[in-house]
Copies of this chain bind each other. A is one copy, B any other.
Amino acid sequence: MRIKICDYNGAEGEIDVYRTNQWEELRGVLEQMPLHLKASDQAGIRGNPIFDPVGTNHHIKEALSSLGWRANIPIPNQFSFLGTDVDFGKAGVLCEVQFSNYPFLLNNLLRSELFYKTELPLSGEPTGIVVIITKAHMFPASNSTLYYEQAKNQLDELARYNVFDIPIRLVGLFEPKGEPITVMFTTYSDPRYSRTVEARHERQCILQSGKTSAGRSRIDFVGG
């Protein structure tokens, strides 16, 4: 996929000086990943292709784990009110993949800020930066799920008033429109809740500039 980034609290310098290798690994994984799609189970658009968070998470986890990243890092008891685990970490870099409902962004930010200030070595070293991965608004997706442009608006407001100190790199996952792209389409055994894969195939599709009613790109498959 193609990525956009937006940096806060000196994230660019932190990466350039201290975390170049970790960022290059993350960037490579994301840029080599195909767009993952599944069929919607939502009334009105049932069967239409939408962004597949389970498939995307699975791909990122496999790829980062093979590069020595920790996955599902347990959160210490004193901070259990902020969740059970952090998605990924390596040598001072924490990474949260957030395709869920938009309020989770604040939860991710707040706990990252605490891990930063407490210097907990969750990634093997004290946290120096958090990378938050989101999908672009362009993709049809489940209702109320976070997207990059929305996350950027929230972070812009929070940064304007210096609520957080931790360096943050926000990453958005995009695809080009109007040209064939290779995607990974997964069918799950229960269309709504299951993580059990029934079938997973590479397909070709085109993201159309003509928008859906929700302002997303329409996804047309190429060659049946």
Contacts and interface: CB of A to CB of B under 8 A. Distances in A.
Given A113-B163, A163-B110, A157 B79 contact: yes
A107 B163 CA distance: 13
Interface residues of A, number: 21
Contacts of A153: 81
Given A81-B150, A150-B81, A157 B106 contact: no
A154 interface: yes
B157 A78 contact: yes
A143 interface: no
A29 interface: no
B163 A117 contact: yes
Nearest to A115: B161
How many copies the complex holds: the figure is 2
A82 B106 CA distance: 9
A213 interface: no
B103 A161 contact: no
Contact of A161 (B102, B114, B150): B114
Nearest to A150: B81
A106 B103 CA distance: 10
A110 B154 CA distance: 12
Interface of A: 78-79, 81-82, 102-103, 106-107, 110, 113-114, 117-118, 150, 153-154, 157-158, 161-163
